[in-house]
Structure 1
Amino acid sequence: MSTRDTRTPRRGRPAKVDAVLRAACEVFGRDGYTRAGMETIAAEAGVSTRTLYNHFPGGKAELFRTVMAWSSTHVRDAQLALLHRYLDPERPPRPQDLERDLVLLARSWTNLTAEFPAHFAMVRQIHAEIGHIPDDVREAWQDTGPRTVTRETARVLSALAALGLLDLHGDPERTARHFALLTSGELAQLTFWAYAPLPDPEADAIITAGVRTFLRAYTPAPPRPNPGTASR
């Protein structure tokens, strides 16, 4: 099984639905939204096509929306757990070395591509087929995963700013997006969203450079000396 979020059926949901979601995640990640067929997904899940439509009467668009929300929830929760572990000053231990902790967070976020390969395969397909992805599906995915992570990262960065460790220039969410783009975002583009991973030393160098660039932009400026005091 390729993703850790597919091992245990959720209570209260039929096992068949979990099998369908697991299979659909694999098929959409492999074949893309346009080419994926409901018959293929049913066969992969070991259910009939009729059973598939009974659970998802809206067809492929409804199934894809459900799968992206289901998969994004697991990835989002993993990202937030790492954010709180490495960076949240409201949860002990408080950050001692901000550059080190930002590097650890960015590297850990990047490592999730190996833990959730089917999810990030679907993300690659979304980028490749964006003109064919229903708008509501794209928005549901963004709201469930990336936007939630951005908002919580902005909250954590604001808490660090309150301690005098960062200057967010009045826009916490933009600061959060800049951090992601400079670190995991650059790696995502260079590796085609984890399709062609880079050697660890190269990935580490990119992350470290991104974090240092982020800190140069968002570290508070030192207080200016008082001219009157300096002349005395």
Structure 2
Amino acid sequence: MNSTDAGDDTWSTRPRRGRGDKAAAIAHAACGVFGRDGYTRASIDTIAAEAGASTRTLYNHFPGGKAELFRAVMRWSAGQVRDEQLVRLRKHLDPQRPPRPEDLERDLLALARAWVALMTDFRDHFSLVRHIQGEAGHVPAEVLDAWQEAGPRAVGRELALVMAALAEHGLLDVHGDPAQAVSHFMALISTDIVHRSYWGVIPLPREETDRITATGVRAFLRAYGAAR
């Protein structure tokens, strides 16, 4: 395994033996340290200690130091979340089998709740994202871009295709801009939850998240629902 290939999901599944698995141990430790301390405060010494490795070993695997390690961890973590988001998207909204008009709100709500639940299911990842939002000015631009391309942009493109397909079937009116519809959908179903829960650090009661997602889906359909 190439230790700098952050798209390698074997980091989370292989027995830890040999060179590649030492990189996996370092990456897992770094994910926890970055999520806890943020990019600026996290130190190579702390990451190495929590991985049970020397700093020399860490630099052997990640010669670019903290920036390279953070980029690798973010791409790997974002890739895991991206894959799960796409699984949930296809489960609840398959563009090849569009819902009946009377079921569209139900399916959008199921998707919204499944995506909001990711903040609990991938707590370490969203702790990293929370720190990125607060420290963007201190995180190298190429690291931010790598994270966006590995996760949010890739998922956004897939969801835009689904929105376009729903429009083609007469279920939505995306006003010629499915990407904008995606942005509004995500803002309506999750922004309030993200801010109030601090990216899932202090989860809201289930009934409150259910209320917010239901209200968000209804507002989205009022803006983008096809006229009947």
Q: What TM-score, normalized to structure 2?
A: 0.90
Matched, 1:142 2:148: yes
Structure 1 residue aligned with 2:80? 74
Question: For the structure 1 residues 127 and 50, does the alpha-carbon distance in structure 2 shift closer, same or farther, using more than 3 Å as the test?
Answer: same
Deviation at 1:10, TM superposition (A): 8.7
Please name the residue that 2:20 is paired with: 14
Residue 3 of structure 2: aligned partner: none
Map 1:61-140; keep pairs closer than 5 Å.
Answer: 61-90=67-96, 92=97, 94-96=98-100, 97-140=103-146
Deviations 1:55-114 (A, max 9, x none): 111110000000000000000000011001101231x5x424111111111111111111
**RMSD between aligned alpha carbons?**
1.9
Superposed structure 1 runs of 4+ greater than 2 Å apart: 4-7, 9-13
From 213, 229, 232, the equivalent of 2:219 is 213
Check whether the contact 1:166–1:218 (CA below 8 A) recurs between aligned residues. yes
Q: Which amino acid aligns with 1:8?
A: T
Identity across matched positions, percent? 56
Structure 2, unmatched stretches of 5+, are 1-8
Structure 1 unaligned regions, length at least 5: 223-232
| Map of 1:27 onto structure 2 | 33
- Corresponding letter in the other structure for 2:128: M
Q: Within 5 Å, which residues of 2 pair with 1:38-53?
A: 38-53=44-59
Q: How many residues align?
A: 217
Correspondence 1:178-197 to 2 at 5 A: 178-197=184-203
- Cα distance in 1 for partners of 2:12, 2:132 equals 24
The SS at the match of 1:98 is: helix
Q: Distance in 1 between matches of 2:201 and 2:10?
A: 20
User: What is aligned with 1:230?
Assistant: none
For residue 14 of structure 1, give the secondary structure of its aligned residue in structure 2: helix
Name the CA distance, whole Å, in 2 between partners of 1:33 and 1:101.
37
User: 1:166 offset after TM fit, Å?
Assistant: 0.3
- TM, length-normalised to structure 1: 0.89
Compared CA separation, residues 174 and 10, structure 1 to 2 (3 A): farther
CA contact (8 A) 2:123 2:201 kept: no
Cα distance per residue 1:32-76 (max 9 Å; x no partner)? 000101111111111111010011111100000000000000000
| Counterpart in the other structure of 1:228 | none
